Amino acid sequence: MTETGRMSWGSERIVEVARAYRRHDALLRGSREQRLAAFDGPDLWAEDLVYEESSAGTLPVEVVDAMLHDPDGDAEFRSSVAAGPLERLLHAQPAAYAGAILERTGRDPLWVEALAGVWLDRMAWGQLAEDMRRHLPEPPPEIAASKKDKRSRRPSKRQHPHGHQPRLPPPHD
């Protein structure tokens, strides 16, 4: 960490984070015992760090690049990267990352593959430039709930927060 509290991202640190993230992801895709062990595993820090930094918009795009090019990573791992940090970057901070990501898709098929695995809601997808959207799956149109759909019904007065309160059982004497 630097004096300001931000992490310094040198090339060695980027590779270390990418590899630890892959090892942790492999445990999460493993047997039940491996999945349980992942929550106490030595590489959990990498997932936490990548999640926090990508959510905050402070994850260098080079970290995602290192993940996608990890020699021990496979298509399933790259899919995890797409659905995790890459998706968060485009959802949380599209203006900060879209240019660098788009530039990489022009020269790297792994980035094109990864973007095909990113799912954004219609609002986030619509905020991206057309040249970026063509690399992403188009979200399905929003469908209005029908009256028969239970989620579209209004709550009963007992369920409604401002309506009647549910009846309580009589107090025990």
Percent of the chain with pLDDT over 90: 63
What are the CA-CA distances from residue 77 to residues 67, 113, 122 (Å)? 8, 12, 25
pLDDT score, position 147: 52
Residue numbers of the domain that contains 30: 11-134
pLDDT score, position 132: 92
Residue 167 lies in a domain: no
Q: What is the pTM assigned to this prediction?
A: 0.76
Residue 6 lies in a domain: no
How many domains does the chain divide into? 1
pLDDT score, position 17: 97
What are the CA-CA distances from residue 98 to residues 53, 103, 123, 133, 161 (Å)? 16, 8, 15, 10, 42
> Which tokens go with 61?
């795009």
Spans in the chain with pLDDT lower than 50:
1-5, 157, 159-166
